[in-house]
Amino acid sequence: MPSNRLKLKLVIGFLALLLTGGYAAAAELSTLFTTPQERELIDSNRYKSGNNKPKVVIDKTIETPVQQVYQEEITRQYKISGITISRDGPHTVWINSTAYEDGGELEDKSKIKVMVGDEIRVRITAPDGKNHYATSGETLEVTYLASIQN
């Protein structure tokens, strides 16, 4: 750790630099070089005439394909044939004769959540974010918009 005397010298030196304008002079440096070859390169680039600038050629034959995004209305029917509540594992729901665990996803990326309360039911969150509810024995019709790229 620096001594108090060294700290005082550093503060006095910094103040002297600020007061004498040495700080401003140091900020005016714009080009630094380390070798005579580097200096020659800097000077030759600095004093070039404006006619030696590289020309920019624009090739208009390159076309980027435009991808169009369409939205299609998707309608799916889900028959809830059973819901099983588990004490020490995930709940299970049977949709269209396939078993899914609570928190799982259907083939169209819809999310499944078993809701336990006064009434046991399943919540299906469609890819567009809308929630649909059904209980065991019901058939649920879900309609949502899906983005389709051309």
Q: Note whether 124 and 106 are within 8 A (CB).
A: yes
Which residue in 142, 143, 134 sits closest to 93, CA to CA?
Answer: 134
What local confidence, expressed as pLDDT, does residue 37 receive? 82
What are the extents of the domains in the chain?
4-52, 69-149
Note the pLDDT of residue 93.
93
- Predicted confidence pLDDT, tens digits, the chain (150 residues): 557 777 777 778 777 766 666 555 555 556 665 688 887 777 777 776 655 566 666 666 666 676 777 888 889 999 999 998 888 888 999 999 899 999 999 988 999 999 988 889 999 999 889 999 999 999 999 988 887 776
pTM for the structure as a whole = 0.52
* Cα–Cα distance measured from residue 89 to residue 102, given in angstroms and rounded to the nearest whole number: 10
Beta-sheet pairing, 131-134 with 92-95? unpaired
pLDDT at 44: 77
Q: Which residue has the tokens 């995930």?
A: 90
